[in-house]
Amino acid sequence: MLESVAVEAPGSVAAQHRAGRVAVGRALRRAGSPVTVVGRRRSGAPVGPDGFPASVTHTPEIAVAAVAPGVRGVGVDLEPRCPDPRLHRFLLDDRERASLWPDGDPAGLRRLFAAKEAAFKALTDCDRAHGGLFWRVRLYRHEGRLWARAGDRFALVEDLVTPLFAFAVAVGADPPPGLPDAWSRRRPGTVPGRPLQAITKSSVSPKN
C-alpha cells in the first residue's frame, strides 16, 4: 500500500517528518494493521508493527509511505533531483555501470540512485553485507526486472520515472528460478512469488 501526503510550506524538515508519520499511519490503516503508529530505528527509519513492514520517503513538497503486509522488508524512495554525475564512481560498480547505466545520463543515474535507496531500506537489516551504506546494495537486471542483493538477501525493485522525479519501491523476496549460481543462495523468511502484489504506484503524484 502506498500513501502520499503533501508537506506544509515551506517544507521544513520537521514538516516533512510530520507528513511522513501521517502517510505511514494511513498506509498501515489501508493495509489492515490494527496499529497505525510506528517506532523508529536509531537511523530514523520507521519500524512497523509485526507483519506490517513500513518505509517512508519525503521531499520538501511530499511524503510517501509504503506498507507491504507479510513480506520481510519494504523500501521506498523519491528523488526529484538528479545527483551529481560524479557520484557514479561509488554508487555503481563496473558491472552495474555497464549493464544498467550504459548511456551515462543524469536521469538514468537518478533512477538507479532511487532504486538503491529503496532496496537498502527493504534490506536494512543486512548491515553485515552493506555496512549501513546504501550504495553497497548491488543491482541486477534479470528477465526484464530489476533486483537488488545484499549478502544472501534479495529485493525486487519497481520504479516510476518521469522528467520531474524518479520513484522506486523495493520489497524483500526470494530470487526467481534461473538466476546465475552466484545468485542462487536463499535465506529462509523471504516471500517467493509475491514481491509487490500489495503495492500500487497510482497514489504517488509529487507536485512541484
Least confident window among 5-14, 110-119, 161-170, 178-187: 178-187
pLDDT, tens digit, 9 for 90 and up, residues 84-124: 999 999 899 999 999 999 999 999 999 999 999 999 999 98
User: Is 190's pLDDT higher than 80?
Assistant: no
Alpha helices per DSSP H over the chain: 13-31, 88-91, 94-100, 106-122, 127-130
How many CA atoms are closer than 13 Å to the CA of 104, on its beta-carbon side? 4
Least confident window among 43-52, 53-62, 64-73: 43-52
- 68/1 Cα distance (integer angstroms): 6
Position with higher pLDDT, 153 vs 195: 153
Mean pLDDT of 167-172: 97
Mean pLDDT of 172-197: 56
- 122/184 Cα distance (integer angstroms): 19
Cα-Cα-Cα-Cα torsion 20, 45, 27, 157, nearest 10 degrees, comes to 110
Which pTM value belongs to this model?
0.84
Query: Would you state the pLDDT for residue 140?
Result: 93
| Beta-sheet strands, E only, within the chain | 2-6, 39-40, 46-47, 54-58, 62-67, 74-79, 138-142, 145-150, 153-161, 166-172
- 136/103 Cα distance (integer angstroms): 22
